[in-house]
Amino acid sequence: MKLLFIQSKPPHGSVNAQEGLDAVLMGSAFSDCSLLFTGEGVLQLIKSQDPADLGTKDFAKAFGALRDYGVTNICVDAASLERYQLSVKDLAIEVEALASAEAARLIASHDKVLNF
Amino acid sequence: MKFAIVVHGAPYSSEGCLSALRFTEAALAGGHEIVRVFFYHDGVYAANALAEPPQDEVDIVAGWQRLHTEQDVELIACIASCLRRGIIDQTEAERYEKPANNIAAGFLISGLGQLIDAAINADRIMTFGA
């Protein structure tokens, strides 16, 4: 069973991104999981973020642990990166940037998709 | 078809919660099976027993409870999301020494594993966003 988790919420202002990441880590204990960042979700990956002044938890540290949890297929929507004038070099972890058609193929290649 | 339902939106703040309720009712009426309804993020506010909407408005909490009592639909609220937002059952109230519990009858508090289990065991997983 291949599960795809899609993260589309910005990192700060709510715990949505953090709770989405929690779900991916839990999913990895049961199944083959992949991760796709799209829309505002790509902002979660910008490196060297420091939420200390916000008084919120630096949950993004856990992105670095994804591979240890067996989540190795980590992708971003290239058009979303472009919208925020980002490249994969600006991101905290190694990811594969996908064109829209490739992202569609990624979604189609999984049995279930969980949106966050 | 077997559906798993995931609710991220809080009742009255997001259309997602009511849409999820209507979808679940329609799926059951159409002869489909509901594996589980999993409340995550702000969706756990649907499990608040203390909600009392005005009488001329839809009672979303009661709607979910009706599905549980009449059609045995499993209603699970994520424990981490619940504890952050102050939705607790008697066990958690005692564990964290809180003065009361407020989980609505019919809802159970459980872990994220129930979400993954529902995703794996359903034919389709439907997420109703915030």
d(CA B11, CA B32) in angstroms, rounded, equals 24
- The fold of A2-115 is Hypothetical Protein Ychn; Chain: A, (3.40.1260)
Check whether A57 has a pLDDT greater than 90.
no
Domain chopping of chain B, boundaries: 2-128
d(CA B100, CA B22) in angstroms, rounded, equals 31
Contacts of B125 in chain A (CB under 8 A): 112-114
Spell out the residues 6+ positions from residue A100 whose beta carbon is closer than 8 angstroms to its own: A77, A78, A79
* B78: annotated active-site residue: yes
Yes or no: domain B2-128 corresponds to CATH 3.40.1260.10: yes
Catalytic residue among B6, B78, B88, B122: B78
Check whether B130 has a pLDDT greater than 90.
no
Per-residue model confidence as pLDDT tens digits over B20-47? 999 999 999 999 999 999 999 999 999 9
Place of tokens 């065991």: B121
The predicted pLDDT at position A13 comes to 85
% residues pLDDT > 90 (chain A): 83
Contact A2/B at CB under 8 A: no
Taking CA–CA distances from B3, the nearest residue in chain A reads A112
Name which of A63-67, B63-67, B85-89 the model is least confident about: A63-67
Report if pTM > 0.90.
yes
CB contact under 8 A, B115 and A23: yes
Check whether B53 has a pLDDT greater than 90.
yes
Check whether A55 has a pLDDT greater than 90.
no
The predicted pLDDT at position A25 comes to 94
Domain chopping of chain A, boundaries: 2-115
